[in-house]
C-alpha cells in the first residue's frame, strides 16, 4: 500500500529528467520521504507555472474570455499564445477530435525537446533557445480552446487544444532583458519592432537542379492555380541568401509587397503587418518605427528598413562550434536506379522545363559568401546536409516505410548526435545494444539483428510495426531508445535491413527540411547614441544616423515527420501540373 502511494506521488514529477525505480527495502525511510517531498515540490512548481500562464492569457476573474493581444498565430500542428508579463510565448499542440495522444502529449513533447537540445543546437547554436515544459489540466484546455475560438481563422478551427503538455519559449518579438535593462538609466525605452521572415530554401543540391526556378518560386504557380494568391511574389530565397546588397534589397522588397506567410512585422509583440494588411499602411508603420527620422519619404524609410534587416541577417551574433562531422559524403547512388514508381512522370517534367525556358524567367542560383555564424549562414549550412536527390530519398522512403517510423528515425538521430565523434555506424551499433544478437528460427523471436561494425554494408534491422499500423505515435520507448519487437511479422519483413547511408539520407533530408521551414525573428529598438557604450557591439546597428538595439533568434525547428517525404512528392507533382497549366496560357 505504501509503495503504491509513493508511486502515485512520484508520477507527479513534472520535469521528466529523473526517473527512479524503487524496490521494497532498498532505501531507508528517510530517503523515501525525501523523494516524496521532491515529487510534491516538483508538482507544486509545475502548478504555479501553469497558473501563471493562465493568469496572463485570461482576463482577470473570467476564465471564459482571453486578452485579445495573446493570440499570436497557428499552423497546422501548433497554436501559439503570447505571455506578455514574461515576454514569452506558449505553444499548444492541436488535434482533431478524439485524436490526441493518450499520454497527453508527454512523450511527443519530451521527444521534441530532446531533439532540439541534442541535434538542432549543434547546427543553429545560440540562435535557438530550448523551451520549458509545463503540464496543464484537461479542464483548462477545454476552457482555453473555447475562449480563443473567435480569434482563430475559420480555416484552422477543425483542430482544438486538447493535450496537457505545452512548451514555453522565449518571445523573440521582444529584446531580451539583458539588453534592455542596461538602458533604463538613460530612459531610452521606445517601442520594440520585430521582423519575422520565413526565408525558405536558399540552397539546392546539384542532383536536384532540374529546373531554372527554385522550389519557392515554383510553388507560387501552385498557390496561384489554387486561388490562394492572385499574383506570384517577386521574392526569391536565393536572393536573400546571396549576401549581395542589391539582391537582398530586391528580396526584402518582394516580401513587403507580398508577405504571404513569409513576413510579419510586430510592434511590442502585436502583429501590425502581414498578408492581411494593406500595403499602403507600411509608410505609417515605418514612420512610427523610425521615430528620429520622421518626415522622410517612403523611399527613405524603405532604405533604412532594408539596411537594418540585411545587417541583422548577415551579422555574427554568436560564435558556437558547428556540427561539421555530419557533412561526410554519402556513398554514391545514381538517380537512374530509381524506377518509374519513385520518379515523377518524365513527360510532365520535360513539358514544365520547356515552358519555364520559354517564359524566360529564372532564379539566380549563384550563392555568395555568408559569415558562418550569421543567422543566414547557419541556416544555409544546415540545408546543405547531403541526402542524394529527392527521387532517391523518396525511393528509400517507400522501401522502408513499413518498418521505420518517426520514433526509430529520430531516436537513432539523437543517439548519433549525442556522440562527440558523430559517427553514424557507431551510433547505430549502440542503438541496437538492447536488441537480440541473433534471430532464431522461431517466428516469435526478436525481429532485429545486431550491427556488425566490421561489415562494409553497415546495415540495421529496424522496428517492425504492429498489424494495426499504429507505429507513429511517440511512446516512452523513445526516451530509453528501445526498439520494440513485433512477434507476428512475415519472414520477408523481418529480413529487411537499411544501410547506414540510406538512414543518413533520410535523417539529413528531414533535418534539411526543418532548416527550410524555420523562421527568423529580428527584434529592434531605436536608441540614443548615449546608450551605445552600455551594449555589446554585435547588438547595436547604426545606419542613416540612427542607432538600434537588435537581437536575432530562430523558431519553428520541430522534427519533421518522415511522412513529409510523401507529402513533398505530391506537392512537387502538383506544382509541375500548375506550372504547365498557367504557362501554357502565358507563353
How many domains does the chain fold into? 3
Mean pLDDT of the chain: 80
Residue in the structure block whose three cell numbers are 538521430: 413
Domain identity same for 35 and 85: no
Q: What is the reported pLDDT for 43?
A: 87
Q: Where in the sequence is the domain holding 146, given as residue range(s)?
A: 68-177
CA atoms within 13 A on the CB side of 290: 26
Q: Which of 495, 523, 538 is the last residue of a domain?
A: 495
Q: What is the pLDDT of residues 164-201, one digit of tens each?
A: 999 999 999 999 988 887 666 555 678 999 999 999 99
353 within some domain: no
82 shares a domain with 16 = no
Q: Does residue 24 sit in the same domain as residue 89? A: no
Residue-by-residue DSSP string for 439-450: --SSTTS-S---
**pLDDT tens digits, one per residue of 525-567:** 988 877 776 677 788 998 888 889 999 999 999 999 999 999 9
> Average pLDDT for residues 358-371, to the nearest whole number?
92
Please provide the size of the chain in residues.
Answer: 587
pTM: 0.82
Range with the poorest average pLDDT among 317-321, 338-342, 368-372: 338-342
Is 177 buried (19+), middle (13-18) or exposed (0-12) by CB count in 10 A?
exposed
Residues 84 and 165 placed together within one structural domain of the fold: yes
* Residues 165 and 83 reside in one and the same domain: yes
Higher local confidence (pLDDT), 187 or 273: 273
Cβ density class 372-404: b for 16+ within 10 Å, e for less: ebbbbbbbbbbbebbbbbbbbbbbbbeebbebb
| 185 or 227, greater pLDDT | 227
Q: Which residue has the higher pLDDT, 170 or 481?
A: 170
> Maximum distance among all alpha carbons in the chain?
83
Do 154 and 88 reside in the same domain of the chain? yes
Backbone phi and psi for residue 169, each to the nearest 5 degrees, phi listed first: -115, 160
Report if residue 97 sits inside a domain: yes
CA distance 304 to 289: 10
State the CB neighbour count (10 A cutoff) for residue 214.
Answer: 22
Same domain, 121 and 37: no
Q: What is the pLDDT of residue 535?
A: 72
Among residues 447, 470, 495, which one ends one of the domains? 495
Same domain? For 163 and 77 the reply is yes
Same-domain check for residues 171 and 73: yes
Q: How confident is the model at residue 446 (pLDDT cuts 50, 70, 90)?
A: very low
Average confidence (pLDDT) over 49-78: 85
Residue 412: inside a domain: yes
Q: Could you tell me whether strands 546-555 and 540-543 are parallel, antiparallel, or unpaired per DSSP bridges?
A: antiparallel
The alpha helices in 315-423, defined as continuous H runs, are: 346-359, 375-383, 390-400, 406-418
The CATH number assigned to the domain holding 77 equals 3.30.200.110
Q: What is the mean pLDDT of residues 566-583?
A: 95
Structural domain includes residue 550: no
Whether residues 136 and 39 fall in one domain: no
Residues 6 or more apart in contact with residue 545 via CB below 8 angstroms: 293
**Rounded to whole angstroms, how far apart are CA atoms 210 and 351?**
12
- Give the three cell numbers for residue 224: 496561384
- The mean pLDDT of 38-62, rounded to a whole number, is 87
- Which pLDDT tens digit goes with each residue over 386-434? 888 888 999 999 999 988 899 899 999 998 888 754 444 333 334 333 3
* Closest C-alpha to 144, from 155, 136, 132: 136
Task: Specify the pLDDT at position 9.
Answer: 45
Amino acid at each position: 500500500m505504501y509503495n503504491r502511494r509513493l508511486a502515485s506521488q512520484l508520477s507527479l514529477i513534472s520535469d521528466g529528467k529523473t526517473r527512479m525505480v524503487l524496490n521494497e527495502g532498498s532505501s531507508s525511510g528517510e530517503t523515501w520521504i525525501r523523494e516524496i517531498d521532491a515529487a510534491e515540490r516538483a508538482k507544486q512548481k509545475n502548478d504555479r507555472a501553469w497558473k501563471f500562464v493562465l493568469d496572463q492569457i485570461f482576463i482577470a476573474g473570467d476564465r471564459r474570455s482571453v486578452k485579445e493581444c495573446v493570440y499570436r498565430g497557428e499552423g497546422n500542428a501548433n497554436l501559439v499564445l503570447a505571455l506578455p508579463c514574461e515576454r514569452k510565448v506558449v505553444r499548444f499542440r492541436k488535434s482533431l477530435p478524439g485524436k490526441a495522444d493518450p499520454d497527453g502529449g508527454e512523450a511527443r513533447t519530451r521527444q521534441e525537446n530532446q531533439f532540439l537540445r541534442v541535434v538542432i543546437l549543434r547546427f543553429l547554436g545560440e540562435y535557438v533557445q530550448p523551451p520549458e515544459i509545463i503540464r496543464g489540466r484537461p479542464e483548462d484546455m477545454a476552457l482555453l480552446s473555447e475562449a480563443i475560438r473567435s480569434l482563430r481563422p475559420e480555416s484552422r478551427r477543425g483542430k482544438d487544444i486538447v493535450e496537457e503538455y505545452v512548451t514555453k519559449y522565449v518571445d523573440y518579438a521582444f529584446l531580451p532583458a539583458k539588453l534592455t535593462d542596461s538602458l533604463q538609466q538613460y530612459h531610452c525605452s521606445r517601442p520594440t519592432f520585430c521582423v519575422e521572415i520565413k526565408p525558405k530554401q536558399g540552397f539546392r543540391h546539384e542532383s536536384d537542379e532540374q529546373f531554372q526556378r527554385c522550389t519557392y518560386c515554383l510553388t507560387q504557380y501552385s498557390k496561384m492555380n489554387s486561388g490562394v494568391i492572385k499574383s506570384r511574389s517577386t521574392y526569391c530565397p536565393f536572393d536573400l541568401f546571396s549576401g549581395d546588397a542589391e539582391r537582398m534589397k530586391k528580396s526584402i522588397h518582394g516580401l513587403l509587397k507580398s508577405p504571404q506567410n513569409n513576413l510579419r512585422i510586430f510592434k511590442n509583440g502585436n502583429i501590425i503587418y502581414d498578408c492581411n494588411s494593406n500595403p499602403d499602411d507600411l509608410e505609417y508603420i515605418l514612420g512610427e518605427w523610425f521615430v528620429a527620422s520622421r518626415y522622410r519619404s517612403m523611399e527613405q524609410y524603405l532604405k533604412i528598413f532594408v539596411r537594418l534587416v540585411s545587417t541583422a541577417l548577415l551579422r555574427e551574433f554568436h560564435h558556437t562550434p558547428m556540427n561539421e562531422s555530419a557533412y561526410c559524403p554519402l556513398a554514391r547512388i545514381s538517380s537512374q536506379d530509381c524506377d518509374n514508381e519513385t520518379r515523377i512522370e518524365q513527360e510532365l517534367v520535360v513539358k514544365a522545363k520547356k515552358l519555364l525556358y520559354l517564359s524566360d524567367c529564372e532564379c539566380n542560383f549563384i550563392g555568395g559568401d555568408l559569415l558562418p555564424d550569421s543567422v543566414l549562414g547557419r541556416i544555409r549550412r544546415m540545408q546543405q546536409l547531403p541526402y542524394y536527390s529527392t527521387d532517391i530519398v523518396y525511393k528509400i522512403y517507400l522501401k522502408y516505410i513499413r518498418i521505420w517510423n518517426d520514433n526509430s528515425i529520430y531516436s537513432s538521430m539523437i543517439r548519433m548526435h549525442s556522440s562527440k565523434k558523430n559517427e553514424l555506424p557507431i551510433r547505430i551499433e549502440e542503438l541496437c545494444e538492447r536488441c537480440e544478437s541473433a534471430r532464431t528460427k522461431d517466428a516469435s523471436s526478436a525481429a532485429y539483428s545486431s550491427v556488425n561494425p566490421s561489415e562494409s554494408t553497415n546495415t540495421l534491422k529496424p522496428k517492425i510495426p504492429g498489424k494495426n499500423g499504429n507505429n507513429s505515435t511517440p511512446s516512452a520507448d523513445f526516451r530509453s531508445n528501445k526498439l520494440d519487437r513485433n512477434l507476428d511479422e512475415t519472414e520477408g519483413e523481418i529480413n529487411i535491413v537499411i544501410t547506414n547511408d540510406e538512414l543518413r539520407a533520410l535523417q539529413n533530408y528531414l533535418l534539411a527540411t526543418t532548416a527550410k521551414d524555420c523562421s527568423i525573428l529580428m527584434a529592434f529598438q531605436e536608441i540614443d547614441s548615449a546608450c551605445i557604450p552600455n551594449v555589446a557591439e554585435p547588438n547595436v546597428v547604426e545606419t542613416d544616423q540612427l542607432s538600434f538595439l537588435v537581437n536575432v533568434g530562430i523558431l519553428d525547428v520541430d522534427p519533421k515527420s518522415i511522412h513529409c517525404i510523401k507529402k513533398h512528392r505530391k506537392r512537387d507533382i502538383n506544382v509541375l501540373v500548375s506550372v504547365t497549366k498557367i504557362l501554357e496560357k502565358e507563353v
